[in-house]
Amino acid sequence: MKQIIDNLMLSAAMAAILAGLPVLAFSQFRLPAPPEKPERIERVEKHDPPAMPMIWGGDTSEKSIKVDSSINLSLCITQGTVKVNGWNRNEVRVYVQDGSKFGFNVREKSSRTGDPIWIKVMGVAIKGKYGAPQECISGNEIEIDVPVNATIGIRGNETTTTIDTVRKVEVKTVEGDITLRNISGGIFAYAGQGDVSVEASTGAMMLETTTGNILVFEASPSEIGDSFKAKTNGGTISLQDLRHRQVEVGSISGSVLYSGVIRNGGSYNLSTSKGSIRMLIPADSACQLQATFGAGNFSSDPELGIKLLTENVSEGPIKSIVGKLGTGGDAAVKLTTNNGSISIRKQ
C-alpha cells in the first residue's frame, strides 16, 4: 500500500514538472513592461573634499618695467590671489608674496617710443645656479599695477582674480571668482567654477561660467554695436542697469533677473531651461514682447500696459504670449523658460 502511495505521489510530481517546464520556459518571454519612467534626477548635495591647504613659503619679490601706455600684459597663474590695478603711470609693477620667482619677457616694443607694448610675466624655476623660465607663476598674493590703458590677459588655475581700472580684460580661470571693475574697453571672462561679477564697465562683454553666478551692475557699450552675452550652466544671472542694446543671456538651471531700461532698437534675449525670468523695467518702456514658457506662468504689472497680440496658453508643454509694451517701438524682448515663470514688473 505504501509503495502504491509513493508511486502515486511520484507520478503526480512528475506530471506537474512536465506540465510546468514549458510554462517556465515561455514565461521568460512575457509581454514587455510599460516603458520605464525616466529616472528622477535627485539633487544631491555633495561637497567636494576639503581642498589641500596651500603651502606657501616661496620668495617675496617685486619688479617693475617701463612700458608703453597701451601695454598688453599677459600672465599665467597656477595658484593665488591676483589683484590688478590701473594707475596713471607708464610702468608695470608686479609684486609676488610667498611665491615663485618671476621675470618680464618683452614680446614686442613700440616702434614709436621703443617701450614695450606686449610683455609677459614669466616664472623662473631655480635649478642649481641657473634659472629656467616657466610659463606660470604662483604666489599667496600677486599684485600688479598697470597703466589704465592696459590690456590684461590672465589664465589661471586656482585663482581669485580682481581687476580694476584697465582698458580691456581677458580672463580664463579653472576655478575661482572673477571680479572686474571699471573696465572701459570690453571684457571676456570665463570661470570654470566660480562667480563672475562686473561693475561699472563698458564695452562688449562675454561672461561665462560653468557652475557660478553672473552679476553685472552698471554696464554699457563703449561703441554702438557692442554686445553683451552672459552664459552659465547652473548659476543665476543678475543684470542691473545694463545699457547694451544687444543682450543675450542664457542659463540652463538658473534664474535670470534683468533690471534696467529697454533701449530703443535693442534686442534682448533672456532664456533659461529651468528657472524663472524676472524683468524690472521703467513704466514707460516700449518693446515688442514674446514670452515662451512651459511649466510655469506669465505675469506682468498692469501699469506697464501690455497689449497681447496672440496668446497660446492652452494645455501643452509650451505656451507663448506675443504682445507689446507701451507704444511697441522697435525693441524686441524675447523671454524663454522651459520650466519656470516669467514676470515683468515696473521699476
Site membership for another protein, residue 192 (CB under 8 A): yes
Least distance (Å) between residue 236 CB and another protein: 13
Distance CA 230, CA 216 (A): 10
Segment contacting another protein by CB under 8 A, of 26-34, 61-69, 198-206, 281-289:
26-34
Site membership for another protein, residue 44 (CB under 8 A): yes
Site membership for another protein, residue 32 (CB under 8 A): yes
Distance of CA 92 to CAs 87, 119, 140, 185, Å? 9, 9, 20, 19
Instruction: Count the site residues for another protein by CB under 8 A.
Output: 62
User: Is 4 exposed, middle or buried, given 0-12, 13-18 or 19+ CB atoms closer than 10 A?
Assistant: exposed
Site membership for another protein, residue 315 (CB under 8 A): no
Instruction: Tell me the three state secondary structure of residue 84.
Output: strand
Which cell numbers in the block locate residue 326?
507701451
The one-character DSSP state at 109 is: E
Query: In this structure, what are the phi and psi dihedrals at residue 60, rounded to the nearest 5 degrees?
Result: -110, 120
Query: In this structure, what are the phi and psi dihedrals at residue 201, rounded to the nearest 5 degrees?
Result: -130, 160
Distance CA 21, CA 81 (A): 74
Site membership for another protein, residue 128 (CB under 8 A): no
Least distance (Å) between residue 317 CB and another protein: 5
DSSP string, 203-240: S-EEEEESSS-EEEEEEE-SSTT-EEEEEESSS-EEEE
Q: Which of 211, 227, 246, 343 binds another protein (CB under 8 A)?
A: 211
Which cell numbers in the block locate residue 115?
617701450
Site membership for another protein, residue 37 (CB under 8 A): no
Segment contacting another protein by CB under 8 A, of 56-64, 102-110, 153-161, 181-189:
153-161
Site membership for another protein, residue 76 (CB under 8 A): yes
Q: Which of 227, 273, 288, 341 binds another protein (CB under 8 A)?
A: 273
Site membership for another protein, residue 2 (CB under 8 A): no
Helix (H) or strand (E) holding 22: helix 2-27
Site membership for another protein, residue 126 (CB under 8 A): no
Site membership for another protein, residue 4 (CB under 8 A): no
**Residues making contact with another protein (CB under 8 A):** 7, 10-11, 14-15, 18-23, 25-27, 29-32, 35, 38, 41, 43-44, 46-48, 76, 78, 135-136, 155-157, 172-174, 190, 192-193, 208, 210-211, 231, 233-234, 250, 252-253, 271, 273-274, 292, 294, 312, 316-320, 336, 338-339
